[in-house]
Structure 1
Amino acid sequence: MRVAFSECTPNYETHLAPYQVLGFLDDDETPATAFGHGMLPSNRELTRFYLARSVRVDLGKYTEGKRERYVRKQCASLSRDFVPRGQLEHLDDWVDLSVRYMNESPRWASQRKRLFEAEDVMARLNVPMTTHLLTLTDTSNGAPVALAMLYVEPPVAYYARAFYDIKYRNLSIGSYLMSSAVNEMQGHGLSHIYLGTCYYEGARYKTRFAGMEFFDGLGWSDDRERLRLLLSQQDDLHDQHLFDHPSYLAAGPPPRSEDATTRLVDLSNWTEER
């Protein structure tokens, strides 16, 4: 992969000069390469990726936990289907469900400059980042309940977006939709499913699965205590990097030579080609 560093807000007084690490695929690489390096899509076309505290599940280590069994029983009246994007039946019903969710959910409030419309859903559906769909339907009346958009490139998958009918929220429908995707991908023999990022306490639901790993800047870690440390201390990192933070250093040393995830090379030829 080719790597570039895009500047973020600096703090001159504390010598903090942050960069967003961006990745670009080489001709012989696919998005699965970026996912493996801890990167997630920065656009729907999958031409640019960003390095993040990505969360994934090692499906070889995944087993259904107590919480997932409870939620599955809560949602016993729902049927599950997994199809390629072009094979989704009753498309209009699913688009309507997604539009309602985007206009009603607090998670979309920051993006809601206006009311979302069907075209906004289609713009997220008919893109390279969405190859497959996982749906949940109420068997009592045939009503659409939840929809997840996924990118599937064996042996990995990416859980890109989720929409659901908020009337089913009391059934923990969001958790059930994600656990259904994890279970489905394991059933298809995949090695990993990527679930997005974890930068605040409300995102820890992604980390409850057996086989969870997160990218910590050095590599993939299953150290849940380290993740809790990151979540509890990150608000104190306004004026310093993580590798300078005392509590992080106490939990483990900064990078060793064998920890290096990348090495800088001469990118002058690539820069000229751009």
Structure 2
Amino acid sequence: MKFIFSESNPDYKNYTFPYAVWAVPESAAEVVELYERGFLPSRKPRFCLTRSTRIALDRFENSYRNRQTLKLCEDVEVTLVAISDFAMTDPIKAMCLQCAELRFGAGVVDEPRFTRILSPDNATHVMHFAISKETVGLVTMNVANQIAHYNFAFYDITLPKKSLGTFMMTTTINYFQARHYTHLYMGTCYGRNFLYKTRFQGFEFFNGAHWSSNIDELEFLIDRPQQARHLFESSDYLDKFHSTELNVEAVELGYRYLTSTAPGLAIKVETEQ
């Protein structure tokens, strides 16, 4: 695989020189490896290193709340459809754009971006949800080997009593667990409004060194004010969560794979997904 380190603003006073880490996989196996190392897909073919989240499916069990949500939506039919076989219609597009405007804000997901999201460049499958054959929700998915990535979710916001958003995530977790997948990746978690992901058993997040299931640590990182020093030189973080030794797992997650970096990579820079 190929790596790019995109420089951000330096801080000479604190000797901090930040980089955004990008990667371009060159095989299906490397796609799975990048997910395991905390990367998530950005604009194809680029992945970026993030505070990724996932569910370890061997540790997932439905909670009472999960079971109630599933029961509430027993009439919803669920199908995994290859992106190339998914037929987009004007009513489905209108439903998705209305949902996106209310969830993400006006103009965040406009029609051109929605078209890109639903393209084979950005998804391998669609998890389709319907009542009496009528579409009420869909999730763009990336499925590779025994992992899956729950990406953009859209649903009929006129059915609030259905709790469709929670149902769609719960059902997708159950779907891939039943098929013996190892992990379902669920995007990032940089704000408290994303902490709903932690309600699912088996939740983990990538802290830059390894996958952690410590929710107190995640909340600390979310609430931590902007500081001059980077995280692994900050005593407030290290003393609280790594008081003995920071387990960076260098062989597995750090430096070994960087030897395969290919020079001279040409890539089109985009800032939106």
TM range (shorter): 0.7 to 0.9
- 2:68 matches 1:80: no
Structure 1: gaps (5+ residues): none
Q: Secondary structure at the match of 2:166?
A: helix
Show the counterpart of 1:107: 104
Show the counterpart of 1:42: 42
- In the alignment, the residues of structure 1 paired with residue 103 and residue 209 of structure 2 have an alpha-carbon distance, to the nearest angstrom, of 33
Show the counterpart of 2:269: none
Residues 219 and 259 of structure 1 are in contact (CA less than 8 Å); yes or no, is this contact kept in structure 2? no
The size of the alignment, in residue pairs, is 263
- In the alignment, the residues of structure 2 paired with residue 268 and residue 131 of structure 1 have an alpha-carbon distance, to the nearest angstrom, of 26
- 2:172 matches 1:181: yes
Map 1:1-274 onto structure 2 (within 5 A): 1-26=1-26, 29-43=29-43, 45=44, 47-88=45-86, 91-102=89-100, 104-109=101-106, 111=108, 116-117=110-111, 119-139=112-132, 142-233=133-224, 236-250=225-239, 251-253=241-243, 255-256=246-247, 258-259=249-250, 261-263=253-255, 270-272=262-264
The CA deviation string for residues 118-176 of structure 1, in whole angstroms up to 9 with x for no partner, is x543322122331111122234xx43211101011120111121111111234322111
Q: Could you tell me the TM-score, scaled by structure 2's length? A: 0.84
Higher RCO, Cα 8 Å, sep 6+:
2
- In the alignment, the residues of structure 2 paired with residue 85 and residue 257 of structure 1 have an alpha-carbon distance, to the nearest angstrom, of 37
- In the alignment, the residues of structure 2 paired with residue 209 and residue 7 of structure 1 have an alpha-carbon distance, to the nearest angstrom, of 35
Q: Aligned Cα RMSD in Å?
A: 2.7
Residue 244 of structure 1: how far off its partner (Å): 2.6
Change (3 A) 1:52 1:122: same
Residues 209 and 248 of structure 2 are in contact (CA less than 8 Å); yes or no, is this contact kept in structure 1? no
Change (3 A) 1:96 1:239: same
Structure 2: gaps (5+ residues): 267-273
Change (3 A) 1:29 1:167: same
Q: Secondary structure at the match of 2:158?
A: helix
> Percent of aligned positions with the same letter in both sequences?
28
The CA deviation string for residues 95-130 of structure 1, in whole angstroms up to 9 with x for no partner, is 23222223x324143625xxx33x543322122331
Residues 198 and 204 of structure 1 are in contact (CA less than 8 Å); yes or no, is this contact kept in structure 2? yes
Residues 238 and 246 of structure 2 are in contact (CA less than 8 Å); yes or no, is this contact kept in structure 1? no
**Residue type of the partner of 1:16?**
T
- In the alignment, the residues of structure 2 paired with residue 269 and residue 223 of structure 1 have an alpha-carbon distance, to the nearest angstrom, of 32
